[in-house]
Amino acid sequence: MREIREPTSKFIKIRCPKCKNEQITFGKSSIEVKCLVCNKQLVASTGGKSRIKARILEVLD
């Protein structure tokens, strides 16, 4: 039997530094993520782990 590994990527809850809106995004996002309220860029894609430009509130399992 082969052992199934757990994924290393998680969903994260972040807060926009401009308008304080909270939203959930993927930790290894392949696209840039903008705030749904003020349109400020919160996450930049780097090809692997994302560069997060907002405050991380919680890592969701």
pLDDT of residue 55: 95
Domains of the chain: 11-60 (2.20.25.100)
Give me the DSSP letters along 10-58: -EEEEE-TTT--EEEEETT-SS-EE-TTT--EEEE--SSS-EE-SEEEE
Rg over alpha carbons for the chain, rounded to the nearest Å, is 13
On whether the CB atoms of residues 15 and 21 are closer than 8 A, the answer is yes
pLDDT of residue 13: 97
Residue 6 has pLDDT above 90, yes or no: no
Tell me the pLDDT tens digit for each residue of 27-61.
888 899 999 999 999 999 887 788 999 999 999 97
Tokens at residue 21, please? Answer: 């809106």
Residue from 37, 36, 30 nearest 51 by CA = 30
